[in-house]
Structure 1
Amino acid sequence: MKIAALALTRGGQVVAKKIKKSFPAGEVDLYFSKKLEGQFPGTSPGEGACYFQESLQAVVKEIFSQYRALIFVMATGIVVRVLGPLLRDKTRDPAVLVLDEGGNYIISLLSGHLGGANELALQVAEKIGAEPVITTATDVRKKPALEMVARKYNMEVEPSQRIKEVNWALVNNIKIKFFKERGLALPPGFPFQVEEMEEERRAGVSSKGKGDYGGNPVVIITSRLHSPEELSDFYPGENFLFLRPRDLVLGVGCKRGISGEELLSFIEKSFQEEGFSLKSLRRIVSVELKREEKGLMEVAQRLGKELAFYSPGELREKMSLVSFSPFVEETTGTGAVCEPAALLGAGREELLWKKKRFKGMTTAAARLLSGWWE
């Protein structure tokens, strides 16, 4: 998604244009007040900007979800009043930056971490020679914010509501325990000390039934589903937060004309039955024949996941490792789809789960051993 830069005054217009020129062509859209159109040199309609006649609030309401970031070159008070009714939560709101019309200071106002506003503020500041203003406590204290770590290393946070508890503890130097699923490789340079989950000996629990972290938040890096009830025997308390590595590849087969709703429901059921989080899904893979299957494309779009396809010849390379179906071979040109596709997509020889069937749909999964953080 692109960036929108908005201005109401001539000075703001100049700064917004400067920002646009500093980015690759087509990455920044300009929105200016209609009052500026043709009033100053270089403000002709052909310059690629949108000149709006309606109120700023109406324009922002219309474009709020269409851009990954909004850059306002105007007073902060104006921006706060305009954005108030539109805000949802930190996992969905776009990054919002505010600059003075002299281009002297750039404030990361909203979605500093998950939305990338802090990072973008630093980037824009360097491009146009402005002074970045970052106010998030973890950045001020030079601490790694959990959601920034997740973003950098291709993980999802669950539940997102507990991010602030963990970051509060990090800022205040309160001890937090980090655990990871046994055998899971971590990215080089991971900023936290992480222990491996050893459920057999109830890791971190003393003879009194409490760990040495005093009930502080516990962060667990895993693709597997664990309920608080299951984990409370090993890590007392309820302050669990999961980092979900995007390390699972899902192979999918389906009959022609399957609806996206049916397919998504089956995929969700497959993950639930096998005990894995759908947030750890990296990509969906299938046979080339399904490239135009609307239901499959709809599912990938709704989940926001990559979609890749393999030719029958490529899938046959893994046929010795999977179950063979004469019917599937007759209809697709290869004796299996979901299982070999999952293996190819993950670069593996072993499935995480074998083929599951339901009403003309199949799923199978494999796991990326390393490189999932890239």
Structure 2
Amino acid sequence: MRIAVVGFEKDVAALRRISEHLSAEVVLYTDGVWSTLVSYDCIVAYMPSGIVVRGMCPHLRSKWTDAAVVVVDKPMRYAIPILGGHHGANDVAHMLEGLGMTPVITTAMEYEEGLSIGVGCRRGIGAQEVLDALLSALAELDASPKDIRVIATAQLKKDEKGLIEAADTLKKPLMFASAEELNSISVPSGSRANIVGLNSVAEACSLLYSKHGELLLPKRVYGGVTVAISR
């Protein structure tokens, strides 16, 4: 993840401390800085949140492509994700715990119970096929979309429009897991994902983002979509 730490020149010591901890780049604030910052994956702003909001607003296009943003308060007590919580900001806020900061997480997923849906699919899958597969898998547990807490897939599917559209239709967060995260999860079934260096996608994703680590539905294949469900 490419991270920028932005702030005023008078605060350069604090900016360097944060950037060294995150292996990030320091960017000093100027009037036109936001057009440069949007090319980063995550922006850590050591400045008032109002300046950040006003600066970023003209550059926001989509939650799937916008840079994640974390604001750090002046005493460096709190790390507050304000954009892209599920797209890197929450993770960076937790990383800042290493500097003694408390992450202020406001996204609902972290506090809700419900089902964690892991999904794998063939390239170019359509949204309707994904939705049909999810509904079929949920039906096996006598569950419905309202029971979903999160949908998750592998990082290499980050640009898969069918998955993104399906998650948007269901109004559920879509998480993307790294290869390292997925390969750290022990799963009961083998997977064709090993051809791209992954031990598993659907089952590993569902377990990774579950709250209790219980695999309720081992992977099922519905046409070009693979689904597993955990809680």
TM-score, normalised with respect to structure 1: 0.37
Q: Counterparts of 1:95 and 1:117 in 2: how far apart (Å)?
A: 5
Does the 8 Å CA contact 2:109/2:150 hold for their aligned counterparts?
A: no
Counterparts in 2 of 1:196 and 1:98: CA distance versus 1, 3 Å: closer
Counterparts in 2 of 1:15 and 1:141: CA distance versus 1, 3 Å: farther
**Per-residue CA distance 1:21-60 (angstroms, 9 max, x = gap):** 213xxx3111124xxxxxxxxxxxxxxxxxxxx41xx111
Counterparts in 2 of 1:162 and 1:22: CA distance versus 1, 3 Å: same
Q: Counterparts of 1:101 and 1:16 in 2: how far apart (Å)?
A: 11
Q: 1:80 aligns with which of 53, 58, 61?
A: 53
Looking at CA atoms only, which structure, 1 or 2, has the larger radius of gyration?
1
Does the 8 Å CA contact 1:3/1:68 hold for their aligned counterparts?
A: yes
Residue matched to 2:98: 127
Stretches of 4+ moved more than 4 A in 1? 142-145, 154-157, 183-186, 195-198
Q: 1:194 aligns with which of 207, 214, 217?
A: 217
Counterparts in 2 of 1:196 and 1:141: CA distance versus 1, 3 Å: closer
**Which one scores higher on RCO, CA 8 angstroms, separation ≥ 6?**
2
Does the 8 Å CA contact 1:146/1:166 hold for their aligned counterparts?
A: no
Does the 8 Å CA contact 1:15/1:101 hold for their aligned counterparts?
A: no
Counterparts in 2 of 1:19 and 1:159: CA distance versus 1, 3 Å: same
Q: Counterparts of 1:128 and 1:160 in 2: how far apart (Å)?
A: 34
Amino acid at match of 1:133: V
Correspondence list, 1:145-224, <5 A: 146=150, 149-151=152-154, 155-156=157-158, 158-164=162-168, 165=170, 167=172, 186-188=202-204, 189=207, 191=210, 193-194=216-217, 224=224
Does the 8 Å CA contact 2:3/2:24 hold for their aligned counterparts?
A: yes
Counterparts in 2 of 1:131 and 1:142: CA distance versus 1, 3 Å: farther
Structure 1 segments unaligned to the other structure (5+ residues): 34-53, 169-182, 199-219, 226-241, 244-374
Counterparts in 2 of 1:196 and 1:19: CA distance versus 1, 3 Å: closer
TM-score, normalised with respect to structure 2: 0.57
Does the 8 Å CA contact 1:15/1:102 hold for their aligned counterparts?
A: no
Does the 8 Å CA contact 2:203/2:219 hold for their aligned counterparts?
A: no
Counterparts in 2 of 1:151 and 1:128: CA distance versus 1, 3 Å: farther
Residue matched to 1:116: 88
Percent identical residues: 25
Q: Figure out how many residues of one structure are paired with residues of the other and give that number.
A: 159
Counterparts in 2 of 1:197 and 1:122: CA distance versus 1, 3 Å: closer
How large is the Cα RMSD of the aligned pairs?
3.1
1:108 match: secondary structure: strand
Does the 8 Å CA contact 1:97/1:109 hold for their aligned counterparts?
A: yes
Q: Counterparts of 1:142 and 1:128 in 2: how far apart (Å)?
A: 30
Correspondence list, 1:318-329, <5 A: none
Correspondence list, 1:1-374, <5 A: 1-8=1-8, 10=10, 12-23=11-22, 27-33=23-29, 54-55=30-31, 58-65=32-39, 67-113=40-86, 115-124=87-96, 126-141=97-112, 146=150, 149-151=152-154, 155-156=157-158, 158-164=162-168, 165=170, 167=172, 186-188=202-204, 189=207, 191=210, 193-194=216-217, 224=224
Does the 8 Å CA contact 1:146/1:163 hold for their aligned counterparts?
A: no
Of Structure 1 and Structure 2, which has the larger fraction of its residues in helix? 2
Does the 8 Å CA contact 1:6/1:72 hold for their aligned counterparts?
A: yes
